[in-house]
Structure 1
Amino acid sequence: MALGFQEALAQRNIEAPTLVSGAQACGTLTNSFDFTADMSAGVALPSNNQFILQLSNPSGSFANASEITDLGTADGPNEASGAGTVIEFFNVNVPQDANSDDYRLRVIATEASIISDISEPIPFHFFDDDNLLIRLNGGDDIIFCNVASFAKQVSVVVLDENDNEVDVNNFNWEWLRDGALIPGENNPTLLITEEGDYQARVSVGLCNNVFVFNKSNRISASLVNTSDISIITTAPDFSFCPDETKVLQASDIDFSYSYQWIKDGVELDGETSPTITLPDNDFGGEYTLEIELSEDCILVTNPVTVTNEGSSITTPLPPGLVLLPTQILTLTVETDAPVGSTFRWIRDTNIIIQGITTGSTITFDVPANGVGDYRLEIDALFPDDPCMSELVTETVVVAAERFDITIAPGEVVDCDQDTITISLEEMVGITSTGDRVPLTTEQFSFFDFEWFNDGVSTGETSLSLDVSRADNGGSFELRAIFSPGGLPDTVSNNLPIEFLSNSIVLDINPPVLEAGQTVTLTAPASTNFTYEWYVIQNGTEVLIDGETTNTLTVSEEGDYFARISSSLCTTDTLIAEVRGPGALSELIPNVVTPGGNAANNAWVLPNSFTDNDVEVSIYSSNGQLDFQKNGGYNADWPNESASQASELIYYYIISRSNTVVKKGTITVMR
């Protein structure tokens, strides 16, 4: 009896598909894989038949059709064959959500009831290998000092090719200590309590050794006994002559550490390496070294006392001095060289005076028109100075053609300050060649000073000026006139002072973001201010690129604020909450119109701000308390305004349980 058509087809079998090269399909954005399946001999299949390569669910099951993924198709072979043939699937991409070692493959024929055998488990994993960077603990090692135990939580950060953070929860994590997997740790954070080398990696099963960038940097965690870290020197001891090379260094040098040298309790500027070479003058004293091994381990070594066996110039000449007309300029040097030591004053290359010291101070009066290079040499007396120290200090004395004055605030300014003190910060003489040499404070007495505000004299002639918020600021200059005459007058830099506040409220117009519309946020405008705009996303301040004016137009709900900088300080405005119509009931009104009209006679707050734990305070524009109520606010203002709401602008503060929750302004319109 002849076989039916479907029975003939059923005689062709497809073996389980296999991966052409390798044992795992470790996929990236740029690679693909080839698969084959052997099909037995048999009659022709329909010419429109296709073969589909299918991927199971992660556990290897094809039971649920919704969990099966079609990876690729092949149009043949469909012709009859007296021998076995091969079905080929080329350039198959790994699905980007694939992450299991237990996937299985099968092949189905679209126009024939043929389903292949199911493959053995084949690992399928996808990782964006080229475009992600995983950083652990900012790259810093963990070091604890002199403790019996420690606990430190570290976390991973994932960055894309543009250095933007990628959500770490998009990945499955594994942790390794000393190269071995830590069982049960699969979060993007790890609490480290043991010494060792640690690394985080994205869990990609049997593809772990294939992907290069699924692993973070390695960090080490260690306990350090700091008692062995000290200051050492290659010299026999810590006693030196001035002309000797004087080098101190840390006994443990590691350039991943941060160092700071300290002399007599004062940090030495710029001395931040593990070694220090001491100067020839005034080097004696007590030295310590602060070493930051990590943020959890900062140590200070035991002090060492460095002894100067010879002499020093304890107060040298400044690098440069300005000789003013009619001024007697006295060069003064302090030294601890023994009395009776020989000294020489040299101008340019000529000895102009020499003698024997009679005390610790050596002076020389520079004559009129005595510009030049000055040098003091001291030959310390032997045997009182066993080193026979040869001490030198020098300066250049110049004549100034004109002067430059810099004024600035005398201290760090808080934007809420009511009074700001500005003062003469520096005055320099400028030579004919453009060299700039600072004047001494004693030389200020040769000048008459006067402060100007917006080009008008304030009548103040001291070296500092107090500017109050009530004065409304302005542009300030300090002018100087050389009292004896003969030199040009000098005007300082222009210093604009425009007062800011730490409680600036942004204007929101319109107050509600309607669908498809925009809202404009407005900060106080000034040409003296610079602006940056931020939106808060997931608790993080995110800079809005390109927005540098006092207005921002937004089309999305969110929490926004402006960072405003003046020449004096920087402040953040209060957060502006941009919301849609559903949030209308929570908006706090910023305008009242008392006077008998039907609308906005009273300042009405949303119900959420009328609880008994809420305090409402309203202040006049000059800071006087106009109204205050603890709990149960019920549209009481301006009916109970102490000033009868006679001013244009008032300020409000709403607190809940002694914590400020809202600030803003109220405009009174009549």
Structure 2
Amino acid sequence: MYYTKIAYNFLIGLCVFILASQENLNAQIVIGAPNLGFSQACASDSFNTYSTTFVFSPESGLNASNQFSIELSDADGDFSNAIVIFTSNPGAVTTSPATLNFSLPETTAGEQYKIRIKSSSPAATSSSSVSFAAYYKIQDSPFTINNLVSTGAYCSGGSYLLTIDNPGNGSNDSPLNYPSLTFNWYKETGPTTSVFVAEGPSLTVSDEGTYFVETNYGTCTSNSFSNRVTISEVSSGEANAGISSSLGNPFCPAQGATTLSTLGGNSYQWFKDGVIIPGATDQMYQTTESGEYAVQVDLGSCSASGSIDLVSELFDATINVPEINTIEDGDTLFVELTTTATAPEFEWYLNDVQITGATETTYTASDFGTYKVVITETSGCMGSRELLFEVEEAVDPFPDVAQIPNVISPNGDNINDTWVIPTKYVSGTNTEVIIMTNRGKVVLQTDNYLNNWPEQDLNLSSINQIFYYVITTANNETRKGSITLVK
């Protein structure tokens, strides 16, 4: 009985082992090499979706929890440090053939990438796909070198350094902002041909020619390339130093100052309209003004100079009244505006408060104060200008005063600044007016008095000054008295 029981247990164990082995055999699948739905992958932020199709067998070998994943090799096709770029949901893929979509990492850059497919339950790995070029074009727009100056020069026996601008000029998206990128420099050999020169973010040039640089995206067509720069060798005399304007020429001051740049050298001096600009001794100079700008560049054993006629696009505007205007109380002043602005808008202000409803090219001013009109160009350059003018109450030079004053205070406050006498003694009455110092020196003698004495600063001290007057009318009526000038 004992041996019979042992034999029975052995048979039971053997059956369990055979069943487990059979189940394990059934849990194996084979995955075919993935077929690519593309010849090369040129990804960017606007497009980064690619597909691959593969077969596997048997379908019944998949467990319900199985996930398929896609691994990406390095740029040389090596899977030692493969990156998983897609993983399906558990049980999502159950039939063969299967198609999966994936995206490339932003660091992808090379010509020999491969992918392979893996399953998780049961575990299996396909052979690799064919090689393909793949690049993620993280920067794919034109950029500038040499501060966008189209020329450069070096003295005979020397060299010239070309560099990618960072951050560059204007809206330039410098590729130097992306550390993973590499660059290839080229020299033009014809209108549409060029030859590779070197790699790197800069290039030292010792041969004349036209150079440019491209971001290294291999066989993927790219818009990440620079402007052309023509380099020349100077043996003696002066070379032409090109000048560029970062905002173009003409430029729009509403966008801020434009940056004038010239070729690289040892030292610089900028000029405006033939006059040295003090302190302008850098390779770049910023300005918001139009004018004839020039620069002298010291290249070492030779030199270069250049000029640019910089023109502003900001519109012109004028008004038909002077800066200071006087009107009588109750009168008005008609103001008319002329401008070259495109689609202009107008705002009128009195003492810095906007005048409601005043939005036309004309305005009739009736209040005293400081006026301002703001003209805004809403198309094109889209800048603004301000024009100012004042409206003051007209002062009556011959007010009807009853008495001859004996005290005045010529301190410039427009109150009792001059000696104002009754109208029967002023201009037009043929009355002689004489004013003397306390020592008898005549300082004024006229028969056409305009209520305007003293017209000049009398250098008043802390001590009040006293003058004497004699007024003689046409019928020999005489008035005499004193005038005290106080501070």
Instruction: Using structure 2 for the length normalisation, give the TM-score.
Output: 0.42
Instruction: Using structure 1 for the length normalisation, give the TM-score.
Output: 0.32
Relative contact order, higher structure (CA 8 A, sep 6+): 2
Larger Rg: 2
